[in-house]
């Protein structure tokens, strides 16, 4: 459990650093650099997709060499490099380069970090363990966003962005220092034969195949969070209030991640995942047709509930039914599928917004979420066979 908490604390400080600046990126692009919503979609889509291919390879290397900690550390080191790149950026192309660095690091660290959490946990409480990690992860995001809010109240104009980028390097350094206290699990591979990924993919649990398919479909409508922030500005919230809304989302997610993970241990992953997608559909419907600020505040809070129900639970689901020898690869493949889908998702969202308005962007995402929920409800077994018993 100590190892899980330490991994969570590293994520806490890394996400604190990242989320101090993330809500500001779309505002910085549009208000300072003159970018359009469509260009914001292009930047976010390219950043996610260019890095996504690394996630499955990162997972494969983790499975092959069983060295989770150094690979994850390499990924976390980009949190600091990302902030330096933001400080040096003076155009949308520079912001794109910085975002690619950020997503590049996330692509490298996600799979080995999740394997570390999985192997540090009791199989019977896997959802709880991933919930603890997600709670700390989102808690760091909430603290970072709140810090950004107070910094915005202190400085104004372009200065606030530059100061935020600079101050955000402090928790990034703390995260790297704390990483040295994490213990490598060093569980050896059971088989000494060469790792055969293609053979393993052919024999995947049918539930895992279905879930990865559903993940791709769902994420075609799950555009970047930048569009949620732009929608808040579109409906009348000022920049500081947008930051507080994003804080609300992260706070709710942090508070509910552990209960959601424990609930999935008790009643099964399927029910929690299906309900999570339905909540997402309601959230995006709210963003599409919100008549005023009150509905949008509620939508941000519900979005936190959705994240709590999905983010940790789906990792627990994948870890427990993936082949033992390919756990990292499957966790990485999941992240790769999400990243690949985000490029067309963000492009489509930006174009729909520019052509038809925000309602078209969010209603599309809401519809795809309902389809995803229906596919899981009908096709997923209630009690899939659990392979993660090591």
pLDDT in tens, 236-279: 888 778 888 988 998 999 999 999 999 999 999 999 999 999 99
Least confident of 7-16, 24-33, 171-180: 24-33
**Region 300-317: what's the mean pLDDT?**
93
The confidence band for 191, taking pLDDT boundaries of 50, 70 and 90, is: very low
What would the pLDDT profile of 135-170 be if each residue is shown by its tens digit? 999 999 889 988 888 887 777 667 778 888 899 999
pLDDT exceeds 70 at position 203: no
pLDDT exceeds 90 at position 335: no
Q: What is the pLDDT of residue 139?
A: 93
CA distances from 347 to 79, 233, 343, 351, 376 (A): 25, 20, 6, 6, 26
What is the rounded CA–CA span in Å between residue 118 and residue 59? 13
Alpha helices in the chain (DSSP H): 2-21, 24-27, 37-65, 68-88, 92-119, 126-154, 158-167, 169-179, 197-202, 206-219, 226-234, 239-267, 269-289, 293-321, 327-356, 358-379
Least confident of 42-51, 313-322, 375-384: 42-51
The confidence band for 50, taking pLDDT boundaries of 50, 70 and 90, is: low
Task: Enumerate residues 6+ apart whose C-beta is below 8 A from 334.
Answer: 212, 215, 314, 315, 318
Q: What is the pLDDT of residue 390?
A: 39
Task: Enumerate residues 6+ apart whose C-beta is below 8 A from 387.
Answer: 205, 320, 321, 322, 323, 324
What would the pLDDT profile of 347-366 be if each residue is shown by its tens digit? 888 889 888 988 999 999 99
Q: For the chain, list the domains and their CATH numbers.
A: 2-183+199-379 (1.20.1250.20)
CB 346 within 8 A of CB 44: yes
What would the pLDDT profile of 68-111 be if each residue is shown by its tens digit? 888 899 999 999 999 999 888 888 888 888 888 888 888 888 88
**Region 211-236: what's the mean pLDDT?**
87
What would the pLDDT profile of 225-248 be if each residue is shown by its tens digit? 878 888 888 888 887 788 889 889
């Amino acid at each position: 459990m100590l190892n899980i908490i330490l991994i969570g604390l590293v994520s806490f400080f890394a996400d604190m650093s990242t989320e101090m600046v993330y809500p500001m990126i779309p505002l910085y692009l549009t208000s300072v650099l003159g970018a359009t919503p469509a260009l914001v979609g292009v930047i976010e889509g390219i950043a996610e997709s260019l890095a996504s291919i690394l996630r499955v390879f990162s997972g494969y290397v983790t499975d092959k060499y069983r060295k989770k900690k150094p690979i994850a550390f390499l990924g976390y080191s980009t949190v600091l490099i990302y902030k330096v790149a933001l400080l040096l950026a003076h155009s949308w192309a520079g912001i794109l380069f910085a975002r690619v660095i950020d997503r590049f690091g996330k692509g490298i660290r996600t799979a080995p970090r999740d394997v570390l959490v999985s192997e540090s946990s009791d199989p019977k409480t896997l959802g709880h363990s991933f919930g603890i990690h997600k709670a700390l992860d989102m808690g760091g995001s909430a603290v970072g966003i709140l810090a950004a809010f107070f910094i915005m109240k202190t400085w104004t104009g372009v200065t606030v962005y530059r100061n935020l980028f600079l101050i955000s390097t402090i928790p990034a350094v703390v995260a790297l220092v704390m990483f040295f206290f994490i213990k490598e699990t060093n569980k050896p591979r059971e088989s000494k034969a060469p790792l055969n990924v293609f053979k393993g993919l052919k024999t995947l649990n049918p539930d895992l195949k279905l879930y990865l398919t559903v993940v791709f479909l769902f994420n075609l409508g799950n555009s970047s969070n930048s569009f949620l922030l732009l929608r808040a500005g579109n409906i009348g919230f000022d920049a500081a209030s947008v930051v507080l809304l994003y804080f609300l989302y992260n706070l709710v997610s942090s508070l509910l991640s552990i209960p959601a993970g424990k609930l999935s241990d008790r009643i099964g992953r399927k029910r929690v995942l299906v309900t999570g997608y339905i909540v997402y559909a309601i959230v995006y419907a709210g963003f599409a047709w919100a008549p005023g600020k009150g509905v949008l505040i509620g939508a941000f809070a519900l979005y936190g509930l959705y994240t709590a129900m999905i983010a940790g639970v789906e990792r627990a689901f994948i870890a427990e039914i993936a082949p033992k020898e390919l756990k990292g690869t499957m966790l990485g493949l999941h992240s790769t599928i999400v990243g690949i889908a985000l490029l067309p998702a963000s492009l489509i969202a930006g174009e729909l917004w520019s052509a038809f308005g925000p309602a078209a962007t969010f209603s599309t995402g809401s519809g795809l979420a309902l389809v995803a929920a229906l596919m899981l409800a009908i096709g997923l077994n209630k009690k899939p066979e659990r392979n993660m018993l090591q």
